[in-house]
Chain A
Amino acid sequence: MHAAVLVFPGSNCDRDLAVAFEKAGAKVSMVWHKDTGLPEGVDVVGVPGGFSYGDYLRCGAIAANSPICGALKEHVSRGGYALGICNGFQVLTETRLLPGALRRNAGLKYICRPVDLLVGTADSAFTTGYQAGQRITVPIAHHDGNYYADAQTLQQLQAEDRIAFRYAENPNGSVGDIAGILSENRRVLGMMPHPERMAEPAHGGTDGAAMFRALLDQVVTA
């Protein structure tokens, strides 16, 4: 599997994400935001956490209009996989590759701590290593992770089994306790928590590693 990790000015989880992909066995290319294309043969695009463009205007808004995001949209429209974590999730909603938006946390504070998540569905290349309903611990680190979607979108996400992760205890006011969602074709996942920061024993836990292993298994055998 060949993964590309996008790098924007202000990205700060790009190398962590690259290491998580590499440890699972993937080849990784780092791709700069001004590039207009992805390397040949990329299966998965990782959109990392951080503060792309200093969070100016809205988190992810400027990144969503950068040259590389044109290539990201083409990759996804061809059926390619994409994983957006934290600021990456914000970028994916700003590009409209995923529905909804991320607002300021309800408590107005930046929150950085491990949280428990409930796996919403095992039916995706990202979550097939988990069981639906399984409780996992993964850290969050965000100021704007308060997921919003209108009632109709929310109902659609539920009906189509596209809620990948929910918070066991809602830390930020997200509607429906939503921590991560899948695209209609289930090949794009956006989530606020950081599985790449809980992927090896030195991190204090390995609950995030199953996502990268599962993705690798699914994409290699696809």
Chain B
Amino acid sequence: MKARVHVMLKNGVLDPQGEAVKHALGALGFQGVEGVRQGKVIELELADGTTEATVRDMCERLLANTVIESYSVELG
């Protein structure tokens, strides 16, 4: 089975990379880009039967720094 973990900076934590991407899109002439937030996607190949709770534990302990990042888990 597979799991996909999305890690994003929490709302309210300034994302300077997202801001830079937003400005670059503006410079390319794209209008109306009101905000860009950049995160990461981590794909996990897991033994069948691994629970969502286990993947969330992985996020809490390593994959995300919950001081500044939030995460979501997609199984399957």
Contact = CB atoms under 8 A, between A and B. Distances in A.
Contacts of B67: 93, 99-101, 148-150
B13 A57 contact: no
A65 interface: yes
Contacts of A99: 67
- The interface size bin for chain B is 10 to 19
A150 B63 CA distance: 20
- The interface size bin for chain A is 20 to 34
A58 B16 contact: no
Given A100-B67, A148-B68, A108 B20 contact: yes
B16 A61 contact: no
A61 B62 contact: yes
A93 to B, nearest CB: 7
Nearest to A149: B67
Interface in B7-50: 9, 13-14, 16-17, 20
A104 interface: yes
A173 interface: yes
Nearest to B9: A103
Contacts of B63: 57
A152 B67 CA distance: 12
Interface string A167-197: 0000001000000000000000000000000
B47 to A, nearest CB: 21
A107 B65 contact: no
B17 A106 contact: no
11 contacts: A58-B65, A101-B68, A103-B9, A103-B13, A104-B16, A104-B17, A106-B16, A108-B17, A148-B67, A149-B67, A150-B67
Given A107-B16, A173-B14, 17 more contacts: A57-B62, A57-B63, A58-B65, A61-B62, A65-B61, A94-B65, A100-B67, A101-B65, A103-B13, A104-B17, A108-B17, A108-B20, A146-B16, A148-B67, A149-B67, A150-B67, A173-B16
Interface of B: 9, 13-14, 16-17, 20, 61-63, 65, 67-68
Interface of A: 57-58, 61, 65, 93-94, 99-101, 103-108, 146, 148-150, 173
Closest 7 CB pairs of A and B: A101-B67, A101-B68, A106-B16, A108-B16, A104-B16, A101-B65, A148-B68
